[in-house]
Amino acid sequence: MTENWIAPSILSADFARLGEEVDNVLAAGADVVHFDVMDNHFVPNLTIGPLVCDALRKHGVTAPIDVHLMIEPVDRIIPDFAQAGANFITFHPEGSVHIDRTLQLIHDEGCKAGLVFNPGTPLHHLDHVMDKLDMILLMSVNPGFGGQSFLPSALDKLRQVRKKIDDSGFDIRLEIDGGVKIDNIREIKAAGADTFVAGSAIFGKPNYRDTIDQMRSELAQAE
């Protein structure tokens, strides 16, 4: 069985104390650092780039860093993120003219690669690239901001992608991003996810360990 990963999104962290925030959330039991990159073009917000990823590595962060690119185009910046210490790099099919080439580029740079689907993006983009994917990320909100509500249509999409992964036989993680909370993580797990991004649910509460522990206990009870 694939291990469940909890991936706090640093979008909701205090950026003025980012190194400390990341240290604290990892000490509280997080598995992966989810790193949201926005360009004020593909999405209506602007965040952080490779310099900040590199700064976290220099600060001493050794956990996997999961870079979610909400940018367009994507290829130019991928080597910079690889150099800055990213482990996973995921991008939206709308952000690349040549999806297969971009997946190959991420692998050539020594990182794991994934495709991200907005709530309204169809799954057919998966059809010819399953063998090149390490991760599939389903958005359960429209990307751009933390703190939005989980869109229930993501549950059915998760079930569809879970089946595609299982039928393919490939080792691909299924990640969900947007509106994940203690009170819905169990049904999200039951629908097929194994990697859970949570921003406001974790950084919005004073005790990160309490939230992560409660999420893990909900996950343990999923069907």
200 binds ligand DX5, rule: CB under 6 A: yes
Of 68, 132, 173, 189, which lies in the binding site for Zn ion, with binding defined by CB under 5 A? Answer: 68
Q: Which one of the listed residues 36, 39, 66, 134 is annotated catalytic?
A: 36
Instruction: Judge contact between 24 and 36, C-beta under 8 A.
Output: no
Angle, alpha carbons 94-153-122 (nearest 5°): 30
Distance CA 54, CA 214 (A): 31
Binding mask 15-34 for ligand DX5 (x = CB under 6 A): -------------------x
Instruction: Give the Cβ contact number of residue 16 at 10 Å.
Output: 7
Closer residue to Zn ion (CB): 147 or 169: 147
CB of 130 to Zn ion, least distance (A): 22
Instruction: Judge contact between 211 and 182, C-beta under 8 A.
Output: yes
DSSP H/E element including 192: none
Q: How many DSSP H helices and E strands does the chain contain?
A: 8, 8
Total chain residues near ligand DX5 (CB under 6 A): 21
Q: Nearest CA to 137 among 187, 178, 97, 103?
A: 178
189 binds ligand DX5, rule: CB under 6 A: no
Judged by CB under 6 A, the stretch of 13-21, 49-57, 94-102, 145-153 that binds ligand DX5 is 145-153
Of 21, 134, 175, 177, which lies in the binding site for Zn ion, with binding defined by CB under 5 A? Answer: 177
Judged by CB under 6 A, the stretch of 107-115, 162-170, 187-195, 198-206 that binds ligand DX5 is 198-206
Residues 6+ apart with CB under 8 A from 92: 42, 69, 70, 72, 115, 116, 117, 118, 121, 143
Residues that bind Zn ion (CB under 5 A): 36, 68, 177
Q: Catalytic residue numbers?
A: 36, 177
Residues that bind ligand DX5 (CB under 6 A): 9, 11-12, 34, 36, 68, 141, 143-144, 146-148, 177-180, 197-201
